[in-house]
A and B are shown apart, each in its own frame.
Chain A
Amino acid sequence: MDRNRLQELIQADLDGELSPSERAELARVLLQDHDARRLQQEFRRMHQLLRDIPAAETPPGLRTEILVARGLVAPPLESRQRRYNQPYYRVAAVVLAGVVVVGISELLRDGTAPTANLQGSLRAASQDHLSLRAENVEVRASLMRVGPKLRLELSSTATIASAVVARIDPATMALVGNSGEAQLSTADGQVTVRLAPGSQFSVLEFSGAAPIQLELRADGRLLSEGKLFVTE
């Protein structure tokens, strides 16, 4: 088989675009030709190397910058970036980093260091955004710390009326603000955001510390749920 044709078949195979007759043609060649098998391995290896590169996270603050520029949300009361650019915050950050490093060193030196708790908090910190999906509604939620507050952003698209219930620990958290769009009701330890059919972007602000348990509900039924932690 012509080498170009062989490469064409190998590549189409990687993309899942081979017809049954092409698949049989490729299988025949691979069975008989050692060089063809080596070439296929090289292409497969390249395919895997590319697939192994994870998607980059969106830089912190990009989404808010885009929305603020379009006038869709008010700028955060305190910009973390702006604060960090001020010299005394940089000094404070360096000092704090030093304290953390020394503290961790001391904990590790101590044989009774609470290893399990440290692992638990690391795992929790990674989940600062999630999607709640059902047949007729999708909600994307993200949680971030802005100054002393926790900012919960809910972006929804729905064809039915539904609601997101945010459950918090009232002993450690309290709702302190929301965007004008969000229709809310509150009860002890929970905030309910009503979602009308269509698209909606809501922002809730809390004092205190995460986690927040989210439930997506419609007609009294629980459709999806998840827990958000903040990445500090």
Chain B
Amino acid sequence: MRNEDIDAATVRDCLAGNPQAFATLVERYDRPVYNVALRMLRNSEDARDIAQTVFMKAYQNLANFDPQYKFYSWIYRMAINESLNFQRVRDRSGGPVDEHIADEGAGPSELLGDEQTRELVLEAVDQLKPEYRAVIVLRYFVDRNYEDMGEILGIDAKTVKSRLFTARQLLKDQLALRKLL
């Protein structure tokens, strides 16, 4: 069975009154939803809260889900939007600011451990504006193509391509700043 078919059947089951079908949707998507929120916010506790909120809203609004769209597009869109809303509130309330400047003493990436390199890459992604971070997160951390990303973000594939283009240019600069390129 294709993933889309499994999702469609599960949503139909859920709407037909089988509440256990929702558990199947949670089982299938809790990890990617958590990952989207984690990579958008870089905080595991916040990501956990976002995942809770997303599934609560999905449960409450499942009857409004339009089956012409893919279920994962719908739930990833909620994950992105909830993360962006959360970040806006966090930024307004002067939440903790990460250290953004690369350590002057950092060596070339070959000399860094894998874990240190990953941290620097995630730090670089975190420097992008939210709309650019969102396309990087969807492309690389939940492996979506242009068409899916467009459906998730509510923009056409051409705009996705252009946004990803700019996001990568900006990210390349951030990685160079951290001596990873």
Q: Which residue numbers of A lie inside 8 Å of B, CB to CB? A: 7-8, 11-12, 15, 17, 42-43, 45-46, 49-53, 55-59, 62-63, 65-67, 69-73, 135-138, 140, 142, 153, 155-157, 159, 181, 198-201
Interface of B is mostly: helix
Work out how many contacts link A and B, with CB atoms closer than 8 A: 137
- Give the CA-CA distance A59 to B30 in the complex, in Å: 10
**Structural contact, A200 and B20, CB atoms closer than 8 A:** yes
Q: Is B171 an interface residue (CB 8 A)?
A: yes
Do the beta carbons of A199 and B9 come within 8 Å of each other?
yes
Q: Distance in Å from the Cβ of A35 to the closest Cβ of chain B? A: 15
A14 to nearest B CB, angstroms? Answer: 8
Interface stretch, picked from B50-58, B81-89, B98-106, is B50-58
Q: Judging by beta carbons under 8 Å apart, are A45 and B181 in contact?
A: yes
* B134 interface residue (CB < 8 Å to A): no
A85 CB, nearest partner CB in chain B, Å: 15
Q: Does B141 count as interface, using CB distance less than 8 angstroms?
A: yes
Interchain nearest-CB distance for B28 vs A (Å) = 7
**A-B contacts, 19 listed (Cβ < 8 Å):** A12-B161, A43-B168, A46-B181, A49-B175, A52-B117, A52-B118, A53-B121, A53-B141, A56-B34, A58-B34, A63-B27, A66-B56, A72-B19, A181-B20, A198-B13, A199-B10, A199-B24, A201-B20, A201-B24
Contacts of B34 on A, CB cut-off 8 Å?
56, 58-59, 62
Interface residues of B in 147-168 (CB under 8 A from A): 161, 164-165, 168
Q: How far is the CA of A198 from the CA of B32 in the complex (A)?
A: 23
Contacts A8-B165, A49-B121, A53-B121: A63 and B171 contacting too (C-beta < 8 A)? no
Decide: A7 near B169, CB < 8 A? Known: A62-B30, A138-B1: yes
- B59: CB under 8 A from chain A? yes
Cβ B18 vs Cβ A199 within 8 A: yes
Q: Is the interface of A mostly helix, strand, loop or mixed?
A: mixed
Give the most central of A57, A72, A157: most B CB within 10 Å: A157
B interface residue numbers (CB < 8 A to A): 1, 6, 9-10, 13-14, 18-24, 26-28, 30-32, 34-35, 38, 44, 48, 51-52, 55-56, 59, 109, 114, 117-118, 121-122, 125, 136, 139-141, 145-146, 161, 164-165, 168-169, 171-172, 175-176, 180-181
Determine how close the nearest CB of chain B comes to the CB of A34; give it in whole angstroms: 17
A53 contacts across to B, CB distance below 8 A: 118, 121-122, 140-141
A199 close to B14 (CB less than 8 A): yes
- A66-B165 contact, Cβ under 8 Å, with A46-B172, A135-B1, A155-B24: no
Additional A-B contacts beyond A49-B121, A50-B121, A53-B118 (20; CB < 8 A): A11-B168, A42-B172, A45-B180, A49-B109, A49-B175, A52-B121, A55-B35, A55-B141, A59-B34, A62-B51, A67-B26, A69-B52, A70-B22, A70-B55, A137-B1, A140-B28, A157-B1, A159-B1, A199-B23, A200-B24
Within the complex, the shortest CB–CB distance from B137 to chain A, in Å, comes to 10
Q: Are B19 and A46 in contact (CB under 8 A)?
A: no
- Find the residue from A11, A138, A159, A198 having the highest chain B CB count within 10 A: A198
